[in-house]
């Protein structure tokens, strides 16, 4: 059961890395005179490389929220299987690929394909939780 915590912790570490990368990128842009700190107040007019990191960091709080909820449910129900652990690691790998594509390229099609990896992994976890829910309905 605890093995599913590792992919969740890996994703949290990835988010921390993105916060660090964004902070460093913004600080460097200000020091180079490319932008003033006030531009970050609302995230407007950021240089494209910084805007990409900002947008990706926002993405880390969309589909991943469902991932976290499913992981917590599986742990609370004591129903974690190897299938879930593999799906969780696929999700994390997909998030890393998605970040790299979104922040380092203009390839929107590839980014969508990377997102599909994440989506299918979360859908697999949701499917398992749904099966557990239906099994619970059958018991008196």
118's CB contacts (< 8 A; 6+ apart) are 63, 91, 94, 95, 98
Q: Reply yes or no on domain 2-138 having CATH 1.20.120.550.
A: yes
Q: pLDDT truncated to tens, each residue of the chain (140 aa)?
A: 569 999 999 999 999 999 999 999 999 999 999 898 888 877 778 899 999 999 999 999 999 999 999 999 999 999 999 999 999 999 999 999 999 999 999 999 999 999 999 999 999 999 999 999 998 766 55
Res 139: pLDDT: 57
pLDDT at res. 94: 96
Q: What is the pLDDT of residue 135?
A: 87
Residue 140 pLDDT: 54
Give this prediction's pTM. 0.90
Give residue 30's pLDDT: 93
For the chain, give every domain's residue range: 2-138
Q: What is the DSSP string of the chain?
A: -GGGHHHHHHHHHHHHHHHHHHHHHHHHHHHTTS--GGGGTTT-S--HHHHHHHHHHHHTTSHHHHHHHHHHHHHHTT---HHHHHHHHHHHHHHHHHHHHHHH---HHHHHHHHHHHHHHHHHHHHHHHHHHHHHHH--
């Amino acid at each position: 059961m605890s093995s599913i915590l590792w992919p969740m912790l890996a994703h949290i570490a990835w988010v921390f890395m993105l916060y660090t990368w964004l902070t460093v990128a913004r600080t460097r842009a200000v020091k180079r005179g490319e932008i003033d700190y006030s531009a970050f107040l609302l995230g407007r007019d950021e240089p494209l490389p910084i805007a990409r990191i900002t947008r990706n960091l926002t993405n880390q709080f969309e589909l991943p929220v469902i991932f976290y909820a499913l992981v917590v449910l599986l742990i609370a129900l004591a129903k974690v299987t190897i299938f879930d652990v593999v799906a969780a690691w696929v999700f994390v790998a997909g998030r890393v690929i998605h970040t790299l594509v979104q922040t380092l390229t203009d390839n929107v099609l590839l980014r969508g394909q990377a997102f599909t990896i994440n989506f299918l992994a979360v859908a697999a976890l949701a499917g398992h939780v749904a099966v557990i829910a239906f099994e619970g309905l059958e018991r008196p």
